[in-house]
Amino acid sequence: MKILFTTIFILTLSGAVQAEETIDGKWYTASQLELGKRVFANNCAVCHGDQGQGLAEDWRKPEADGAYPPPPLNGTAHAWHHPASTLIRTINDGGIPLGGKMPAFGDKLSEQEKVAVIARFQDWWPEEIYKGWIERGGLEN
């Protein structure tokens, strides 16, 4: 099941015509990572930091307006607790339904760009965090 979903995730969502080797046992490819770097820099870094480190002193504490600040995406927060389907849904719908401020990108990014931006921030994750994500069913729906 994981191998099938990985293949679907890489080829279908990314729109790849031909299979490309993944990076060091990860689900994503070098071309997805390169696209993800551009998408992240242009759309996400302003709130999540240029290295996915987050910009808030404490992302777990609501700000004065009651909304939570953008969490780090570099493996030090909770993104790795969520499967790919939840990460895509958050990108599509934004963070407002979850108590944050992130705008919805569902109609602003292509499916390829959404998948690629996940590759980008997962590339910052330490190996043990990535493995934990896989073990938690990260590639499953």
DSSP SS3 for 55: coil
pLDDT digits (tens, 9 = 90+) for 61-101: 999 999 999 999 999 999 999 999 999 999 999 999 989 99
DSSP SS3 for 47: helix
pLDDT digits (tens, 9 = 90+) for 3-62: 434 444 555 454 554 578 999 889 999 999 999 999 999 999 999 999 999 999 999 999
Q: For the chain, what is the mean pLDDT?
A: 90
H/E stretch holding 129 reads helix 127-135
* Rounded distance between C-alpha atoms, residue 139 and residue 5, angstroms: 6
- List, as one string, the DSSP characters of 65-82: TSPPPPPP-SSSSSGGGS
For the chain, what percentages of helix, strand and coil (3-state, to nearest 5) are there?
50, 0, 50
* Rounded distance between C-alpha atoms, residue 37 and residue 2, angstroms: 25
Bridge partners (DSSP) listed for residue 22: 29
What superfamily does domain 2-135 belong to in CATH? Cytochrome c-like domain (1.10.760.10)
Q: Is the pTM of this model over 0.85?
A: yes
Structure tokens, 104? 């919805």
Tell me the residue type at 99. Answer: G
- Domain extent listing, the chain: 2-135
